Amino acid sequence: MIFSIGETSKLTKISIQTLRHYDKEGLLKPIYVDEETKYRYYSIDQFLQIDFIKRCKSLGFPLEKIKQILYEGNNLENILKSIVFQKNIIEKEIENLKNIKSNLNRLEKTLSHAMN
């Protein structure tokens, strides 16, 4: 069974524009493209790929890394390394945001004292 890009969009909660972008980037190619209308069609099996892509995106993986995991025959060890690497990036971002928050708190305190 195949689904139009609109049906796929509704069922997977991914915009049509995003599906077109994934196609353009080679991340998720439609199972079939009508040569006359250029309409894209997806199989139910591709919904699993879409779910995987959504999960990776929610974990902060860039599209290029997701593509690599999906198509370059990564084994579990390489996937684990990618996860650890991504986790380290997130930890650095969290630390940076904590520093920004701390600086904002100091600035807020300084301005509050100046106003009083």
pLDDT of 75 > 80? The answer is no
Q: For 6-60, what is each residue's pLDDT tens digit? A: 999 999 999 999 999 999 999 999 999 999 999 999 999 999 999 999 999 998 8
Q: Please determine, for residue 107, whether its predicted confidence score (pLDDT) is greater than 80.
A: yes
Average pLDDT over residues 61-71: 88
Q: Is the pLDDT of residue 85 over 80?
A: yes
Phi, psi of 78 (to 5 degrees): -70, -35
Band of residue 74 on the pLDDT scale cut at 50, 70, 90: low
Helix 16-24 vs helix 5-12: crossing angle, to nearest 10? 110
Give me the pLDDT at residue 104, please: 97
Contact 28, 41 (CB under 8 A): no
- 5: pLDDT strictly greater than 80: yes
Q: In what order do the strands lie in the sheet with 2-4?
A: 2-4, 40-43, 32-33
pLDDT at 73: 66
Rounded CA separation 92/85 (Å): 11
Please name the residue ranges forming H helices in the chain.
5-12, 16-24, 46-58, 63-71, 76-115
Residue 77 scores a pLDDT above 90: no
